Every structure is written in C-alpha cells, then in structure tokens.
Amino acid sequence: MRITACVGDYAEKSYSVPGVDLPVFCAEELCFCIKENAFLLDASLMGDPIVKWLDKQCGLHDLADNLGVLLRQGVGLSVFVLTILQYVGLYDGTTMREVEQLLKMGAGLSQLEKRKKQIDFLLHKKNYQAAVCGYQELIRLWEEKDRTKESLPGIGCLADIWHNLAIAQSGLMEFDQAAEGFLKAYLLNQDRTEAFNYGAAMKLALPKQEYEAFLAEKGHLYFDEYELNSRIQNLLMEWEQSPEASLLSRMRELCETGETEGFAKEAQRIIGRMKESYRSGQISID
C-alpha cells in the first residue's frame, strides 16, 4: 500500500478548473484533475483565481507566492502547471513529463480539438463505451457550432471523429451503427479505406441474404467485394497468429478436455493480468 500525505488544507470553497469545469477541494484533487485533463487546459488556468485559492483556501502560501512570480514573468502553461505538480509531489517525474508532453501537444488546439484528443485516449485504452459517448457529444457540439456559424477545425477533423466513433462501436460489436460512422467519414474525406470499413461493418451487421441484397443495390458503389474479402482474409490470418488467438485456443482446449482445474487456474491468471493492466492504464491479457 502506498500512502500519500496531504499537502495544505482541505478548502471550504472549491476551485473550478477552467476548461474542465470540475470543482476541486484540495491540492491533490487539483493535481489529479490537471493530470487527467491536460489536453483540455489552456492559459485561462494561469491567473489570480487559482493563486488566491491555493493561498487562502489551501494555506499553501509558498506555492501561491511562487506562482505569482511566474505570472509576472509571463511563463508558459507547462512551467506553471509543473510548478504545482512538483510542489504537491503527488506524481513521480515520469508522470510529470507525460503531463508536460500532453500540454505541449495541446497548445494551439481549440477546445473541441482538445476534447477529441482526450476521447481518442479513451479509444486507445479500449474504453469503448466512454469513447462512444464522448464522440457523440463532440458531434452534437460540432453541429451546434456549425448552426451558429462559429469557427471550426477542418472537415478532416469531423471525418476523424466519425471514424473513431465507428471504431469504438465496432469494439462494442455494434456493427450496424459502426457502418453509419464509416460511411459518414467516407463521404467527408473520400478515403477508400473508409469505404472498405463501411463494407466490412455491413457484412458483419447483416444476415447473408440481406448483405447480398445491400451489395447488389448500392454496396458496389463504395467498395469492391473481392478486394474486401481479400482484406478480411488477411486480417483473419493476422488474428490466427496473434497471442490472443493462441490464448483463446488454449482456453478452449482446457474446457473441451474437461481440465477444470487448469481452466480455472488460467482464468485466474488472466483476470489477475487484466486487473494489473487496468490499474496501470494498459490493456493486456496474454
């Protein structure tokens, strides 16, 4: 067990982190919020409100003084944020360097683009349900900004949102909805890969007879069936050579041969690895 001593006081009044709109009540909560939402942070964090809150509510007078000096010097966001993280000491150097990198990557991006980057991270970690909700929220925000004639990123960004939404839905086996997302992406960017993704999703979503009717009616307008089947066969070959396929085969063999003790032991090993992966934010079951 790792114990972290609290730094400063627990505030009577919370501080709402700009760009995140999440209330925090102590320095540790502030650091956690910064780490988890680094892509959403911008220069609006750097101001008197956070300095006064750390000083008056948390009793961190030295930290507040240091931040006040940095504000007068006109430092960048990453210096300001790392000063807070280093003072509180909640994270190690590796984590702080990761936060610094995220801040640099997010510099110059709009709030919508920053939000997309955060959701992309959820998708990368295979948190599919959260990613689906996030991308759907982004699409609604995009449509609202478009109606009000607000500035938006290039159309390629919207195509990427639809593509990533479809990937997340595929991860949830929602292939009919994924097909819609791939088609939307294709119509926006005319990337042939999206057309093949659309065809593959429809092939997985529809019964054979319905798929053949779809293919004859309009599927041929988007992709070549022979090339699609060739791509699918290549993917199947890659799957058969993967560690996951080997693991599944081993588990199936133990089950079919009635080796319940071996099956249970292997299952416990996998669960243990998945728990470790969850804690570290990585996905691995081999």
Task: Write out pLDDT tens, residues 231-251.
Answer: 889 988 998 888 888 888 888
Is the model's pLDDT at 130 over the cut of 50? yes
What's the predicted TM-score (pTM) here? 0.65
Mean pLDDT, residues 60-65: 96
Residue 184 exposed, middle or buried by CB count within 10 Å (0-12, 13-18, 19+): buried
Is the model's pLDDT at 117 over the cut of 70? yes
Of the chain, the percentage scoring pLDDT greater than 90 comes to 62
As a whole number of angstroms, the distance between CA 143 and CA 50 comes to 33
Instruction: Give one DSSP letter per residue of 111-170, joined into a string.
Output: HHHHHHHHHHHHHHTT-HHHHHHHHHHHHHHHHHHHHTT-----HHHHHHHHHHHHHHHH
What pLDDT does residue 278 have? 59
Ramachandran area for residue 18 (φ above 0: left; ψ -120 to 50: alpha; else beta): beta
Contact 162, 131 (CB under 8 A): no
Contact 181, 159 (CB under 8 A): no
Least confident stretch, 1-5, 91-95, 180-184? 1-5
Bridge partners, 90 (sequence order): none
The three-state secondary structure class of 80 is: helix
Place of tokens 């949830």: 172
Query: How many residues does this entry show for the chain?
Result: 286
As a whole number of angstroms, the distance between CA 27 and CA 159 comes to 39
